[in-house]
Amino acid sequence: MPEDLNWAIGGEAGDGIDSTGKIFAQALSRAGRHVFTSKDFASRIRGGYTAYKVRTSVDRVESVVDRLDVLIALTERTIDENLEELHEGSVIIYDGERTTMQDVEIPDEMIGLDVPLKSLAEDAGGAIMRNVVALGAACEVSNFPIENLDESLEKRFTDKGQAIVENNKKAARLGQEFVAEETDHEFDYDVETTDNDYVLLNGDEAIGMGAIAAGCRFYSGYPITPATDVMEYLTGRIDRYGGKVVQAEDELAAINMALGAARAGARAMTATSGPGIDLMTETFGLVATSETPLVICDVMRSGPSTGMPTKQEQGDLNQLLYGGHGEIPRFVVAPTNISECFWKTVEAFNLAEKYQTPVYLVADLALAVTEQTFPPEAFDMDEVEIERGKIVDEGEIESWQNEDGQFQPHFPTADGVSPRTFPGIEGGAHMTTGLEHDELGRRTEDTDVRIEQVDKREQKVQTAREEEDWDYREFGDPDSGNLVLSWGSNEGAMREALGFLEESGTDVRFISVPYIFPRPDLSEEIEAADDVIVVECNATGQFADLIEHDALTRVKRVNKYNGVRFKADELAEEIEEKFAESAEMEA
């Protein structure tokens, strides 16, 4: 059987699905296997279907696929929800003694393993451990040495005492033994372990870690799915470095606190999702006009309004690019995978301070809640560079004062970036405002000064365009005339889709773009292509619109907006069809 194993546990929210799935995922990662996880969850705490899916392989895995090999079903609905992904030979582990599962019918071509999860858990010390019994059973099915679970169980339960840890280990073994001894099925799965050294984390965690690495010391936010993990990650960790997380009363306060902290000289950040971005938009203009460096992270979910809070979408692009009244200089940076969430966060802080401009760091739900394995060197902290831009200290302040000894925070320099001082620095006292202002920061309606200051702020973006590498990541066949472009989390599914496409004889050049504004100039690549497809998770093709605008050409679009991320196999199929359509038209 394939190296790949696709595994899931599903049940009702409140069944401990997440933590059980995580224990298994961590065990695989510790055993040196690559892991890619995804979650199906509904916006409620108890009740409602929820699942944690793990795809694992000895090779890197970049996405989910439409396939499930082993399913732990705590409810009947779990089977129904996943029927399409189950196949001949799939194993379904369930507890037939559970009242609601007594009449479950396992489709003929699949293997149903009726394991008395609850009673075995009771034998081990408590019914609560039934999920762990199921994990043990899953180990046996997938031929994964059960000892690998032990460390994960320790990590999860050590706080609760050694006895609990031991009971859980026992529960797992009872599940394993039951399958080994009481069933006579043959399983073809084989989960090999390796000596590889991996860490397992999600995009929100990578953003939080990137923020600390980059010297972020102040974070204010208001909880919202799927951005809350950033705040939860930073809480308790940022303090070790002299920082602080503040849970504000709302998003308006969150961005204003971060603005205040940034003016005090701290590297500051806030993170939210679409509805929060809406609330922050007024202050976003102030941040830009007052030339305050700030990183604002938008972890997109399905909109508009409260939309589908727990579902995937990439629908905020236009809001991030154009949101706010008046014309607001800004950067929009969009990591395309989990390790990039880390690196682009670091970069976002550097951009913000070098250009004294707000930076939108945009991730999407699929990127934020998905966990993936990486070698620790993917986050090599020695590589982190911090560039703070033009900070003027007491020694230099005089050179930025006018004849009257007044500091000039908005002095129009050639590159558009002026000196910056923080309260506490002597000789630097000045004001900043959202009103149009002169070089001293004072309100003006003078027509010439207005033009000068607007041009100055715009010049910063121009300078950045020239000074920074607005590059992209390229995969597949560089000489192919079939060009696919995407942004955000689609990179993973698309990378895997390339494999499927190659198998079926379609060569593709794939470019993944991590910068929305400014963005790389792709006109040459587009010109060289016969056919261009832009892949994104929204209905209207917001990124495709930008590409068309830049390259003055029409592109094809593959859009998905049902709330579910692209799957590699499904994406390959759609792309193949699109390219085939064009070939037909030409023929």
Partner 1 sequence: MSSDIRFTDFKSDKQPTWCPGCGDFGTMNGMMKALANTGNDPDNTFVVAGIGCSGKIGTYMHSYALHGVHGRALPVGIGTKLANPNLEVMVAGGDGDGYSIGAGHFVHAVRRNVDMTYVVMDNRIYGLTKGQASPTSREDFETSTSPDGPKQPPVNPLALALAAGGTFIAQSFSSDSQRHTEIVKQAIEHDGFGFVNVYSPCVTFNDVDTYDYFRDTIVDLSETDHDPNDYDDAKAAILDADKEYQGVIYQDDQSVPFDEREGLTESMADIPEGAPEDAMDLVREFY
Rounded-to-integer distance, Cα 345 and Cα 341, Å: 6
CB of 296 to partner 1, least distance (A): 14
Indicate the residue among 129 and 338 with the shorter CB distance to partner 1: 338
Selected from 72, 262, 299, 568, the binder of partner 1 by CB under 8 A is 262
1-9, 258-266, 316-324, 459-467 -> range binding partner 1 (CB under 8 A) = 258-266
290 near partner 1 (CB under 8 A): yes
Indicate the residue among 110 and 287 with the shorter CB distance to partner 1: 287
CB of 390 to partner 1, least distance (A): 14
Rounded-to-integer distance, Cα 560 and Cα 314, Å: 9
Strand-by-strand arrangement of the 371-374 sheet: 111-114, 86-94, 68-73, 5-12, 49-57, 34-40, 371-374, 199-202
Residue 76: CB atoms within 10 Å: 16
CB of 1 to partner 1, least distance (A): 28
Q: Which secondary-structure segment (H or E) carries 496?
A: helix 490-503
Angle at 106 between CA 149 and CA 124, to 5 degrees: 35
36-44, 89-97, 327-335, 373-381 -> range binding partner 1 (CB under 8 A) = 373-381
Q: Say whether 71 sits in a helix, a strand or coil.
A: strand
CB of 290 to partner 1, least distance (A): 7
CB of 164 to partner 1, least distance (A): 21
CB of 69 to partner 1, least distance (A): 25
Q: How many residues bind partner 1 (CB under 8 A)?
A: 68
For residue 409, is the peptide bond before it cis, meaning its omega torsion is within 30 degrees of 0? no
77 near partner 1 (CB under 8 A): no
424 near partner 1 (CB under 8 A): yes
Strands 358-364 and 482-487: unpaired
Q: Which of 510, 561, 515, 30 minimizes the C-alpha distance to 301? A: 561
Cα 304 to chain center, whole Å? 20
Site mask, partner 1, residues 494-523, x = CB under 8 A? Answer: ------------------------------
Site mask, partner 1, residues 218-257, x = CB under 8 A? Answer: x-x----------------x---xxxx-x-xxx-xxx-xx
Q: Which secondary-structure segment (H or E) carries 517?
A: strand 515-517
428 near partner 1 (CB under 8 A): yes
Rounded-to-integer distance, Cα 184 and Cα 169, Å: 24
| 440 neighbors 430 (Cβ within 8 angstroms) | yes
283 near partner 1 (CB under 8 A): yes
CB of 351 to partner 1, least distance (A): 16
367 near partner 1 (CB under 8 A): no
33-41, 264-272, 488-496, 564-572 -> range binding partner 1 (CB under 8 A) = 264-272
282 near partner 1 (CB under 8 A): yes
279 near partner 1 (CB under 8 A): no
Indicate the residue among 406 and 540 with the shorter CB distance to partner 1: 406
How many CA within 13 A on the CB side of residue 8? 31
| 66 neighbors 567 (Cβ within 8 angstroms) | yes
Rounded-to-integer distance, Cα 151 and Cα 129, Å: 16
Selected from 381, 451, 539, 583, the binder of partner 1 by CB under 8 A is 381
Rounded-to-integer distance, Cα 340 and Cα 216, Å: 17
Phi, psi of 349 (to 5 degrees): -65, -40
265 near partner 1 (CB under 8 A): yes
527 near partner 1 (CB under 8 A): no
259 near partner 1 (CB under 8 A): yes
Selected from 96, 260, 481, 563, the binder of partner 1 by CB under 8 A is 260
Token representation of residue 439: 């070089």
Q: Which of residues 383-402 bind partner 1 (CB under 8 A)?
A: 384-386
| 364 neighbors 560 (Cβ within 8 angstroms) | no
167 near partner 1 (CB under 8 A): no
CB of 445 to partner 1, least distance (A): 12
Q: Say whether 515 sits in a helix, a strand or coil.
A: strand
Return the residue matching tokens 């689609």: 490
Residue 182: CB atoms within 10 Å: 11
379 near partner 1 (CB under 8 A): yes
Q: Say whether 233 sits in a helix, a strand or coil.
A: helix
Query: Which residues are near partner 1 by CB under 8 A?
Result: 26, 29-30, 199-201, 205, 209, 212-215, 217-218, 220, 237, 241-244, 246, 248-250, 252-254, 256-268, 282-283, 286, 290, 376, 379, 381-382, 384-386, 404, 422-435, 442-443
